[in-house]
Amino acid sequence: MDQSPIHNGAAPTAAVDLRRLTKVYAGRGRVEGKKALDAVTLAIPRGAFFGLLGPNGAGKSTLINILAGLVIKTSGEARVWDYSIDSHQRLARSAIGVVPQELNLDPFFTPRELLEVQAGLYGVPKAERRTDEILEAVGLADKAHAYARTLSGGMRRRLLVAKAMVHNPPVLVLDEPTAGVDIQLRQQLWSYVQDLNRRGTTVLLTTHYLEEAEALCDRIAIIDQGRLVADDETQALLRRLDSKVLTVVADRDLDAVPPALAAFDPELKAKRRLIFRMKPSQTSVGAILAGLQAAEVTVADLTTEDADLEDIFLKLTGGDHAVTPADQ
């Protein structure tokens, strides 16, 4: 049996390494083939909580399915935990656990039976199996002997996460894991996944909840129409927009924008509300506050709003797409 990639030599710098990865789906008849991935080169650092975002049909699921061995790439190279998916296919697959979008569970098995079968498929010795520990971690210990068909959608989603972890893979891929999961269960799921990440598991997440990716991921890549359009640390990606909105509520009505504030080009709303759209690299909040003081405008309230991941996503993908669970 192949040695477990977790204990085989030094850990690689990149948990997943893609070089010009390309996938073209053949057309039928007169229908032209579709290039789902177009020479994607991407390195996911070991230990990262990495977000992979893109519009519907961008190629996210195609990329994941190639890593999982479910789709055959057209060209390029892909390595998982430094194992080629071509020359070391078995080791590459054992180094990754994938939580798919689809709830593909056998309805006549219990969660405990499903995990035991999955562990057996990966060759995990009975003495090394962590079935009860994993069920407890995902909040399904009390459902260990219930048929999968009786579980709620959220419970089934957590059971998929449990299945992906039975062989203790160093890389965990979550493909839209919280779709249809309520807020409480989502928080419980993320608590478990964040703990795995803190203990060294590399997490690759695709999600249509952009605020979720912004809060969880330390690095994010965005693909659009099969091409990589961004790959950076989350905060660095957000700084690209160089955009901030400052809203000032005055303590009195204003008939017009005071001349001392004209250089900042604010918008006056409802007599007392001044909206400043600014670039932090060019204008500081302090400069605006000094302008307000010069204009003898007393501030009753002040709020700021920074650019978020949705803003950068729309900018990089043209703004005419929506991030949805369905993907090519």
- Please report which confidence band the pLDDT of residue 324 belongs to, taking 50, 70 and 90 as the band edges: very low
SS3 242: coil
Residues above pLDDT 90, as percent of the chain: 58
Residue 248: the pLDDT is 95
CB atoms within 10 A of CB 108: 9
Helices 111-121 + 153-164 axis angle, to 10: 30
Q: Are 140 and 162 in contact (CB under 8 A)?
A: yes
Per residue in 20-52, pLDDT (tens digit) is 999 999 877 666 678 999 999 999 999 999 999
Per residue in 189-233, pLDDT (tens digit) is 888 889 999 999 999 999 878 888 889 999 999 999 999 999 999
Residue 244: the pLDDT is 83
Residue 31: the pLDDT is 64
Cα separation, 265 vs 176, whole angstroms? 42
pLDDT average, residue stretch 67-71: 91
3.40.50.300, 3.60.20.10, 1.25.40.10, 1.25.40.340: CATH of 14-95+169-238: 3.40.50.300
DSSP state of 128: G
Strand ranges, E, within 55-147: 75-80, 83-84, 96-99
The model carries a pTM of: 0.77
pLDDT at 272 over 60: yes
Rg, Å, the chain Cα set: 24
Residue 92: the pLDDT is 94
pLDDT average, residue stretch 263-289: 90
Residue 57: the pLDDT is 85
Phi, psi torsion values for 148, nearest 5 degrees: -60, -30
Per residue in 171-184, pLDDT (tens digit) is 999 988 876 667 77
CB atoms within 10 A of CB 294: 12
SS3 235: helix
Residue 3: the pLDDT is 38
pLDDT at 99 over 70: yes
Residue that has been written with the tokens 């090519």 in this structure: 328
Q: Taking the CA of residue 322 as centre, how many other CA atoms within 13 Å lie in the half-sphere pointing to its CB?
A: 3
Q: Are 269 and 234 in contact (CB under 8 A)?
A: no
CATH 3.30.70.260 fits 243-306, yes or no: no
Q: Where are the domains of the chain?
A: 14-95+169-238, 243-306
Residue 321: the pLDDT is 44
SS3 194: helix
